[in-house]
Structure 1
Amino acid sequence: MKYLRLVRAHQWIKNSFLFFPLFFAGDLLNIPQLLSVGYGFLAFSLVASSIYILNDYNDIEADRQHPTKSKRPLASGEISKTTGLAIMVVTLAGGFFLAYSIDIRFLYVTLIYYVLNLGYSLGLKHISILDILIVASGFLLRTVAGGVIAQVRISEWLMLMVFLLAVFLALAKRRDDILLAQESGKVMRKASAKYNMEFVNGGLTMLMSVILVSYIMYTISDEVTSRLKTHYLYATAIFVIAGLMRYMQITVVENKSGSPTKVLYTDRFLQITLLGWIASFFSIIYRHNLMSLFGLSL
């Protein structure tokens, strides 16, 4: 449906980062908290959609030169500019109203996210490196927002991992822009002119290494092991290693890193790896809850 494509409903999966604090805190089975974060997910998704529409509106001419972005509803003319702007206002107002009804602090975080991305859409995306940091900050703010709603403390290691992973994915996406520029002779993003393959590949390798170290440090940190009452979280690192290596393979070998969301939706290896990580992490953290649920004892 063209309106779902306009608001980029398929991109809402990014807002699942709101559930991270609840999941990592071992409180995902707390239904009231889970529902609250679910409402936050919807509010954040509506605000994010308004940004997507504004970005598409500002980039109509540039998107028409792009092999895939030219098919977006505004760039293709499938939806008029007036209709697009009207939907943008509705989603923004609805998102902020819902955020306010959930928690005033959540509204503040959502507002910061909006202002930051508004600046991105209006010109900051043309500044190399800053463009990547702003995109990564959006994922960090999603995580903070989830922690605010659930009222759980977010580990410093978790914050660091989320930010680094987001930088990694954003940098991989810039690599795809470089490939398109080499093939078509046209620079799709102004900021992309400041990147080259050597810089991007080196950055990806560095980030992947730091992410892995940060994750392992998180799983063995005293604060996490004592709070979650387990010393076995390090075992889940195998899925993180496999997932990052596969994404590097998709990026560097297959040259298909243009859309992280599309990669996740289509790559079977990544899907299985992610499910394996979730299942192993869940079983380790929530084993006490599951045992109690079925009336068993450890």
Structure 2
Amino acid sequence: MMESFYVRLLEMEDEIEELLGMWRKLHENYSPEARQFFNGQSDQFSREMLILVKACERIGLTGNGEKYSMTENGEQQIKLYPLVIQESAEEIMRRYAFFYVFWSREELVDRIARYTDFSQNMEQGLFLLKTLHRSAALNLDSSEPLNPLLKEASSEQERPFTTEPTLIVAMDYSDSEYEFFEFREDAARQIEHLHTRFYEWMYDQDGIQPFRIDHKHIYQGQTTSEGWYYIQGHPDFVDWVNTQVYREPVGRKLVGPPLQQPISKLSF
């Protein structure tokens, strides 16, 4: 029986507080020199810890609802409200951590360092997890197909990107400002089908998950809209393809300009 991710996170609370202290110091006067120092200090933390911290931060972002209303001064005010969460802390941690198992140390450190609300969301996520009920540690050696992949989180050895031929896929947010990604050829050739499957999968999920936030919009005391709104982006789609579909890294953001025309263009 492998120790649960939630238990591991609690065991790392002193390290987490140290990381958050480093993060706050970095954002007091963010500069290239301060960032370089932060990167060097982060070497003391395990890749597993960085994955669990990133997952916990995302739980803090998406694990509560957001109520938007206008103040008397005409400014928008955002307040959090609790959601009914049926799953245990272990189940939620497993759901979220799963998407980051192929992230490199460099990717994790970069996302943690750059995200301006990281500390607040991280603390909110940890608080939320502590309010959920506990279940027995989940057996990652079971026959459930997703479980063995979660062992990647505790490994310092990152799974290398595919060595097979790749093709380029362009993605934008319906604004023609494209970012470029490379996918293993077999994945690239069905990327539009995978794009459709991704949305179908998201809309079919129950409870909180990394790509959506429950929201309410209030105007003059009346609710004008409510329900889930989705915050998925290009990296989330790539993570889903790698972990949910292929169980190995077959897609990643392209470093440098593309040397070939994209085989497809996707909008999110």
TM-score (norm 2): 0.26
Higher strand fraction: Structure 1 or Structure 2?
2
Question: Which of the pair has the greater relative contact order for Cα pairs under 8 Å at 6+ separation?
Answer: 2
